[in-house]
């Protein structure tokens, strides 16, 4: 076989590899730091093995309420190496009440059952919940012992969870909710991503980036 033929074969073999490399670079550049997502100045320690995706949210946020079914469907498709968690925002007295309720129900092992109920009570039923007593009364209608709820609500464990959540929220430097945090390193907001649906695509990109 002549040298010219060999050179031609090698050249044609290099072209697909070069195209694949260019495609890979293009795919990796689909989302840009500082544009579609933001790197946290100080990473937050994650609480799970593998890759952690956290929703920074509040039951009082209508956008979070609208995002919930979309997010829930996405979370159901996450692979085994990705863990989903939530951190409630505490920007005002009302949000703090809802955050404390979140951790109370988590401690009582009732969060999965009551999560959507609280969202629906606020945004669908327009329930006026402005105090721990209002929340206890509402939850009692769903079968939750109000005395047990109030006891856990004021417990040291829930208070500690609130302090840690507040520290995480400050580190996130989010300007709104819902916001997604990937592996304690990256913040994704709807405004920068383009929409809440697009936030999930950016999260998938960052999950793949962490795997690499």
Query: pLDDT (tens digit, 9 = 90+) per residue, 41-87?
Result: 999 999 888 999 999 999 999 999 999 999 999 999 999 999 999 99
The average pLDDT across 97-126 equals 98
Q: Under 8 Å CB-to-CB from 95, ≥6 apart: which residues?
A: 58, 60, 88, 89
Q: How many other β-carbons are positioned within 10 Å of the β-carbon of residue 90?
A: 19
Give the angle subtended at the CA of 73 by the CAs of 68 and 78, to the nearest 5°: 120
What pLDDT score does 29 carry? 55
Taking the model in full, what pTM does it have?
0.86
Backbone angles phi, psi at 158, to 5 degrees: -70, -40
Question: Does residue 18 carry a pLDDT above 60?
Answer: no
Cα dihedral sign, 170-176-177-178: negative
What pLDDT score does 132 carry? 97
Closest CA to 152 of 138, 164, 162: 162
The average pLDDT across 131-151 equals 98
């Amino acid at each position: 076989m002549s040298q010219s033929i060999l050179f031609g074969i090698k050249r044609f073999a290099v072209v697909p590899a070069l195209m694949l490399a260019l495609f890979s670079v293009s795919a990796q550049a689909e989302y840009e730091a500082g544009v579609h997502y933001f790197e946290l100045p100080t990473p937050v320690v994650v609480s799970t093995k593998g890759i952690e995706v956290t929703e920074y949210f509040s039951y009082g946020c209508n956008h979070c309420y609208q995002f919930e079914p979309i997010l829930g469907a996405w979370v159901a498709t996450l692979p085994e190496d990705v863990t989903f968690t939530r951190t409630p925002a505490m920007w005002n007295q009302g949000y703090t009440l809802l955050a404390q309720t979140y951790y109370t129900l988590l401690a009582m092992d009732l969060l999965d059952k009551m999560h959507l109920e609280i969202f629906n009570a606020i945004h669908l039923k327009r329930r006026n919940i402005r105090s721990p007593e209002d929340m206890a009364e509402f939850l009692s209608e769903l079968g939750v012992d109000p005395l047990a709820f109030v006891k856990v609500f004021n417990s040291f464990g829930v208070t500690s969870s609130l302090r840690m959540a507040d520290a995480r929220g400050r580190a996130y430097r989010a300007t709104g909710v819902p916001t997604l945090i990937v592996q304690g390193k990256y913040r994704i907001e709807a405004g920068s991503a383009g929409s809440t649906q697009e936030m999930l695509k950016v999260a998938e990109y960052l999950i793949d980036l962490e795997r690499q």
